[in-house]
Chain A
Amino acid sequence: MTDIAVAEPLVPVPVGPVPDDPAPVRRPGLLHALVHGRGLVGLVLVGAVVLLGVLGPLLAPYGPTEQVAGANLLGPGPGHWLGTDELNRDIWSRTLYGIRADLVVVFAAVPVGAVLGVLLGLVTSWWSVTDVIAQRAFDLLLAFPALILGILLTAFLGPGLLTVGVVIVALEIPVFGRLVRTAVRTVREMPFVEASQVVGAGPAWVLRKHVLPNSLEPLTVQLAVSMSVAVFVEGAMSFLGLGVRPPHPSLGSLIKDGVRLLHDAPTFAVGPLTVVVALVLGLLLISQSLSEARRA
């Protein structure tokens, strides 16, 4: 029989901060990033454009398709701040209504695409068979550049704002699906997930309680990036005549008209272009600031 010698009695480890140890630095939250520095600039830019769009009907002196007698391709002036187009329509009013068309696309189609992509990514990447199928489907969608996909879908659906929305949803599903898949594969290997599975947690519970909350930050960053891409896609599709149908305005169709009349009315495109730049830049700044805050 062996005797066990105890050198000294066991002392319980003290709970709470260790004396003289510096307090752990809390990283700034995403909200903090949005109201400081470039995040704030982005928020102001996007906020200004959104405000213009929301208040458009109150701010616009004319209807978006109203043709003002005798006001043919006028330059900027007191009656028409941004001038008129070749069909006598007030460009300022059309720009305000054009913003609304873009906002619908940005704030409806992108979230829809994101939600669908996240759900697909979450559900399919847990099991290897569904994962392979979903990833190949995502590969297929990602193989098409945005505009080619736009042209392809327009051939079936016809041009219009709805088609632009469908294109953007189709573009965003694989992006968000892939992002969530990465999170699933990382998080499910973590000890706390294994622990929860040991005590009987099923896949749905794990995905909902562990995986999804741990994926939200990168998804938020991607959401802002995707919104800026959506502005670009709408602009490009309308520029090519695949987007909003005449006579209704969108920022892309206004830029198209402005470019066509660049020689006769060089200021025509300035308003819509400024708005697009503000929206894209603002959303990119927001995504950058969120991304940096996440990495901090």
Chain B
Amino acid sequence: MSPAVPTHPRRRLRRLAAATVAALTLVAATACSSAVDELKNTSGERQEGGTLRVGALQDIIPARIFTNSSDGTDLLISSVYDSLIDYPLDKLEPKPSLATSWELSQDGTQLSLQLRDDVKFHSGRPFTSKDVEFSIKTWADPVWTVQLQRTAAAITGFDTSDEHAITLTFAHPLSNIFDLLDMLPIIDSESIDQLREGKAFVGTGPFEFESWSPGAKLTFQRNDDYWRGKPSLDGIDVSVIPDPQAQVSQLRAHQLDVILGASYRDFETLGKDDSFHVNKWEGAESQVYVGTNVTNPALSDVRVRQAIASALDRTRVVDEVLRGAGVPISLPWPGYSPAYDEKANATYDYDLDKAKALVDEAKADGVMIPKLPLTYPSEAPIYGSIAQIVQADLAKIGIEVELDPQENAQVVQQLIGAKFPGLWILRHAYAHYTPSTLAVSAYPFNADHNASLYVNPDYKAAAEKVWKQKAGEVDPADYTALNEQLLEGSFLLEIAIILPQNATSARVHDLGETKRGEPVLYDTYLTK
């Protein structure tokens, strides 16, 4: 028998390295497959309690907590707070929440609401009519930059003589008063200073705020004394994960139960897998658009803006970026809105010849069109794709665009402060509410002060007219006039209606959504 030949140290090292790599690969593969198996092997049996792990793209910003400007904020608002009424997803018909019944005066300038008498804040303090007054006045305070600030400020009288009833008096009829009551969270006056600092968020909702690690995590625990009954879940852990791809990976690896931010392509792929549910929320639509700063010399000419509107290949955006989960539009309204007008909605259908002619005409009149910056949030995946399609579309009509991706917080700041230098791409909401809410409240549309810095007395008059009518009794002709103003001004160029989506593992059931586009977790439960 020949003696064993000693192995060369370098060769031994290589073998050891190879064995380590193989072992690590095996461990990783086993871990992944076991996670996927775990997902597929859910028994379907309802689990009592449990903590829901949610992935959000954006963190909360306490100073902008009432602006619906991040998915983290949306989840906090729907979990911690209640509103006076709730709209169902499919119609603008108020349903009782903290208010049990209401009566609008004949002239539409007074609204009396009966309030629940069995509701307590998370601090243990009973909810009263004074809290409604405080909440409305907080929203009316410009410091919070709330979009419905004008509507809240138009409420001039508060009769709180009864702790469980309130009568609101308006400066004029408010066609969108119920929109305000649906969106307005009832805030605890005693903890407003801590709210401003992000230390406490006290409401009457199904979950109590527990902790916030800025940029990382939000946690909530169940409110055992919730007036609707105890929620199923023990709590919610929200992880701020700005990378949508990382959210999808963590959902696949069973490290998250719900993801709020992913590309529409990822949602499409997840939807084909039995291990996940993808929810599309009709009735909570938002609209993606190209905004224009009309004080930019090139964009101050309406022909240039209309040319851009005609050059947008909306169908391609819907097909390729939104994967069919959207509708191309020229006007913001969804089909069920009282302001919807099918013919007007086709005004800016894709027409490169028309667009080119408008640009040529403007240039012939001496309008200079230098390279325009196009700002968009870098985190959400759809914006980058849409921005590059828009850039290619505009290049076809001779308008050069420079992409300017920025952090969402910076983009929101520019939106609120009307500081965009040229073009921008974002989403807006509120078109699925009473049309006046959009025209007088939304940052991009507000006829008084909008992100485009568009000032037009006719537009302002049209917006005010649909706003200052009794709720539910607005003259349809006034909506037609408003649509004409929106199309003529073309300061905001709609691309498509978007159906909000989120994805859950198969263990998650009964996830809901408010009309405001916030996830509702009160009824949500997990299965084993």
Contact = CB atoms under 8 A, between A and B. Distances in A.
Contact of A246 (B266, B320, B388): B388
A73 B265 CA distance: 11
Interface in A223-252: 241, 245-247
B425 to A, nearest CB: 13
A86 B320 contact: yes
A72 interface: yes
Interface residues of A, number: 16
A220 interface: no
B269 interface: yes
B389 A67 contact: yes
B269 A247 contact: no
B405 interface: yes
B385 interface: yes
Interface stretch (A31-39, A184-192, A259-267): A259-267
5 contacts: A67-B389, A86-B385, A87-B320, A87-B388, A87-B389
Contact of A261 (B265, B321, B389, B391): B265
Contacts of B321: 86
B392 interface: yes
Contact of B385 (A87, A245, A259): A87
A67 B392 contact: yes
Contact of A241 (B266, B378, B389): B378
B269 to A, nearest CB: 6
Interface string B385-408: 101110110000000000101000
B249 to A, nearest CB: 9
B269 A246 contact: no
A8 to B, nearest CB: 56
Size category of the binding interface on chain B: 20 to 34
B422 interface: no
A65 interface: yes
A247 B245 contact: no
Given A67-B392, A246-B384, A260 B405 contact: no
A88 interface: yes
B266 A263 contact: yes
Nearest to A261: B265
Given A86-B265, A88-B320, A246 B389 contact: no
Contact of B403 (A73, A87, A245, A261): A245
B320 A247 contact: no
Interface in B237-253: 245, 248
Contacts of B405: 241, 245-246
A261 B263 CA distance: 10
Contacts of B384: 246
Interface string A62-101: 0001010000110000000000001110000000000000
A246 B381 CA distance: 13
Contacts of A247: 388, 391-392, 403
Contacts of A263: 248, 266, 269
A72 B403 contact: no
